[in-house]
Amino acid sequence: PCVLVLHGPNLNLLGTREPAIYGCTTLADIHRAMEAQARAAGVQLESFQSNSEGELVNRVQAAASEGIRFIIINPAAYTHTSVALRDALAAVAIPFIEVHLSNVHARESFRQQSYFSDLAVGVISGLGHEGYALALTAALSRLAQAQD
Ligand code: DQA
């Protein structure tokens, strides 16, 4: 089984981007921790970040033929704008968890609408980088359950 972790625009800047909101952990730190967690469970994990909506759509479409069984996605600003990325996830029908570092419900009103949450298995928002570890814990237990 294989898990794909997708990161939307500006998340490549984690660590230096508005650290009071997004924390000091870098995307490389997050990837390293998730890879170790997946490896310990005998699961392959791949991460992909893009600032481009089309590249994220293409990555989701490719996941279907690559045998990706679960997606963890922080769509970043595309959370609030992208019907295209939503439609891609609906098209491949791979279960996914939506993660946000910040608590989007405690911020500007435009962040309180998500094009993803109603399709997601679950949503984690406001727990910083720990949210990714928690999402992966949930994904791994679902994959293990599906196996037996
Ligand atoms: C974010 C929240 C979004 O509103 C914002 O556009 C981001 C990051 C988060 O992880 O808290 O880029 O998804």
Please name the residue whose Cα sits nearest to atom 2 of ligand 1: 76
Q: Are 10 and 51 in contact (CB under 8 A)?
A: yes
Q: Which DSSP string corresponds to 34-98?
A: HHHHHHHTT-EEEEEE-S-HHHHHHHHHHHHHTTEEEEEEE-GGGGGT-HHHHHHHHHHT--EEE
Q: What is the pLDDT of residues 90-109, one digit of tens each?
A: 999 999 999 999 999 999 99
- Judged against a pLDDT cut of 90, whether residue 64 lies above it is answered with yes
Domain count across the chain: 1
Average pLDDT estimate for 83-94: 98
Q: What is the pLDDT of residues 126-144, one digit of tens each?
A: 999 999 999 999 999 999 9
Lining residues, ligand 1, CB within 6 Å = 10, 74, 76-77, 79, 100-102, 104, 111
Q: Could you tell me the residue range of the domain that residue 142 belongs to? A: 2-147
pLDDT at 1: 62
CA of 148 to the centre of ligand 1 (A): 36
Please name the residue whose Cα sits nearest to atom 12 of ligand 1: 76
Rounded CA-CA distance 11/89 in Å is 20
pTM above 0.95, yes or no: yes
Q: What is the pLDDT of residues 5-42, one digit of tens each?
A: 999 999 999 999 999 999 999 999 999 999 999 999 99
Rounded CA-CA distance 135/30 in Å is 12
The enclosing domain of 37 has a CATH number of 3.40.50.9100
